[in-house]
Structure 1
């Protein structure tokens, strides 16, 4: 897998307008199809006692589903918010 595709420094991905975190909020940048493989997200969540996740986002069939499966494999109780995921973006 070429993780460069998911690297924000390459210019292929960016935070959506309105989703920029506040200065005191953590920002975990993933560079793979799921949010766990190339990040410290698992450690971050477990160190805070998080046991349940709701997954939503873009690229349902890629990133969202893969993150959901990996989170479940890691023991999280996962809700997959299908109404809050999209496969492709269209412009109005």
Structure 2
């Protein structure tokens, strides 16, 4: 029997509430860590671990490697902290 494949919408729904870059076995949030929700773009709904960024100036933008963006494998999705709401990082576009 062939393995089941997820459609694009099923794949996006599957990823919601999962932590960006985490192993599949440990994809959910971990106690004692701080997360920001990625909003929009190819990583919409994923959580970004920002624990090590606490107490440091926020970056203007981060470029997160992803195969889901405009440039496919090797591309990056750019996100920036939302002004006044560091718990949400908004998509700014994709880059090669």
Q: TM-score, length-normalised on structure 1?
A: 0.31
Q: TM-score, length-normalised on structure 2?
A: 0.31
Q: Give the structure with the higher percent strand.
A: 2
